[in-house]
Structure formats: C-alpha cells, structure tokens
Chains A and B, each alone.
Chain A
C-alpha cells in the first residue's frame, strides 16, 4: 500500500467526520462512545480496502484510522470557529456554550464548575484558548479512537486472504509467435564443409 492509497481515504473520512462532529446537534452523537469518530475510522478503512489492490492488513487499518482521526480533529477545530462566529451572531458564543456545556456535565462538583466558569466564561478572552485546548485534546482522543475504528473496518471489510494481491503480474517479454527464424550465419568461403 503506497502513501497515496493511505492518504486519500484518511482525508475523505477525516474531513467528513470533522465537519459532522463540529455541527451543534449532530456532533452530540460523539457522546455515545465517540460514534462519529469510530465510524470515521471504519469509513477510512473501507475506502482503503476498496482502493488498495493488495489485501489491507490490520496494521495498515490502524494507520489509516489514526490519520483519519488526526484530520478529523483538525477539521473539527477549524470548522468550530465559523460555527462559533455564527452562533455568536445569534447570542450563543463560545463563552455561553462553555457555560452550557459545564452545566450539562452531570458529575462535575459545584466548586469545580464555579472555578471553570470564572476562568472560561467570565474571562471572555479565554474562550479561544479553551477552543484550542479542546482541539489538542481532540487530536489525541480522536486519533486513538479512530485508530480502533480503522482496525474494526479492516476486520469487517477485508475479504481477501492475507498477502493476496489482485494486481496483474508484472509484464514480462514474450517473443511474437509467428516470428520467422533468423537467417543462418554467413559461411566462411575458405572453409570446406
């Protein structure tokens, strides 16, 4: 499997998952064991299996999943910025969202909640820092979980036996069939047969 075969599926799956995860309502599906991210890893593995003429191994599935997760984290973070700008226009900026998110974490102790609120919500400028910190966290979490999705995808979709290669064998030289025989070598006139 060359880099091109690995990179293209990872980019496609990563961008798709990143955009879906950044959307306000659809992104909440990640709360169920990172469903979007696992699905992204599986999608990347599926695309790799389809694109690669040789059988894709579990190790390659992990690689393509890891790459897809990293792409998804970057796209998610980058896509969150315009979404946040749009939400700010509607009175739902980063600070308000952080405040709502903190309220929705059920097990967070009240003193921690108050402290986080004073840092990230009341100090408005820190909203961007929070976004970037979340992005760094996503890079790790998405990468690891999507890697597992890649392995699941290969296990599910790779039907060829290990080491199988559907590419045609390399072309070798074959002489044309009806080629006339070569002429006999010229005889030396001084030599008596």
Chain B
C-alpha cells in the first residue's frame, strides 16, 4: 500500500518508465534515473555547509554556472529523446545529480536572502554572510 501511494505521488512529475529506472530488489524506483539524480543532488547540495557554498559575485559567472548544469541535463535529455543518442543510466544520473546540486545551491542562497530580507549576500571564508560586497 505505501509503495503504491509513493508510485502514485510521483506519477505526475515523472514518466516512471521501468527501463529508465533503477531497481531495488527487482522493483523499479518511483522515479527515473535522471529524477533520482536530481533528488539526490538536492539532498547532497543541501547537506553542504553554507560556508562551502560560494556564490559567484558577478551575475555573468552565476549565469554561466547555471547554463552549464542546465545545458548538460537538457542536451543529454534532448539528444536521447530526439535522436536516440545512446545515453547510459550513469550519464542520466550524473547530469541529474549536477543539476540537483545546482538547484540546491540556488535554493539555499535564495532562501537565505529571502528569510534575511536583505540584498544579495556573499559568503565570507569564515562562514559569515555579508551583504552586498564583491570578492
């Protein structure tokens, strides 16, 4: 019963194709390999202490990082769906993992700014969060 509910819960957000999902005791996971990577990346990224997550001070550098991680996932997904490019489960998982870590990074910094209600902050080497400045 709980397994069925978990499958049902994730069904609107993932195709859940068994051949694209990891297996646990012969049963496919509730989400595909790429989504597993994304959720795993979100978990790993949120466990990294704030002092280790440095936010690029310049918007162009921040955009380049986001484009890199989004581009890796989007290229892998688009190539495999449109051209039948033989991507491996590992590649799907890794591109999802990198995307998830990037999402966690944006989420942590965004929430820190949102809660603090202040201007964009930069993490100092000692872990303190300063407002505004550049590194």
Contact = CB atoms under 8 A, between A and B. Distances in A.
Interface string B1-41: 10111011101111111100100000110100011001000
Contacts of A141: 12-13
Nearest to B121: A162
The binding surface of chain A is classed by DSSP as: helix
Given A33-B34, A57-B119, A59-B114, A105 B16 contact: yes
Interface residues of A, number: 42
B119 A106 contact: no
A155 interface: yes
A107 B27 CA distance: 8
Interface of A: 30-34, 55, 57-63, 101, 105-109, 111-113, 115-116, 134, 137-138, 141, 145, 147-148, 151-152, 154-156, 158-163
A109 B28 CA distance: 11
A61 B112 CA distance: 12
B18 to A, nearest CB: 6
B76 interface: no
B13 A33 contact: yes
B132 interface: yes
Contacts of B117: 59
Contacts of A163: 119-120, 132
Contacts of B11: 101, 105, 108
29 contacts: A30-B13, A32-B15, A32-B77, A33-B38, A34-B13, A57-B110, A57-B119, A57-B120, A59-B111, A59-B114, A59-B117, A62-B110, A105-B7, A105-B11, A106-B18, A107-B16, A107-B18, A112-B7, A141-B12, A148-B107, A151-B106, A158-B59, A159-B59, A160-B59, A161-B58, A162-B59, A162-B120, A162-B132, A163-B119
Interface stretch (B46-54, B62-70, B83-91): B62-70
Given A31-B15, A33-B34, A156-B67, A112 B4 contact: yes
Contacts, number: 119
Contacts of A33: 13-14, 34-35, 38
**What are the 8 A-B residue pairs with the smallest beta carbon separation, nearest first?**
A112-B4, A59-B113, A59-B114, A162-B120, A58-B110, A151-B106, A62-B110, A155-B66
B98 to A, nearest CB: 14
Contacts of A112: 1, 3-5, 7-8
A109 B120 CA distance: 48
A163 B35 CA distance: 35
B101 to A, nearest CB: 13
Contacts of B120: 55, 57-58, 162-163
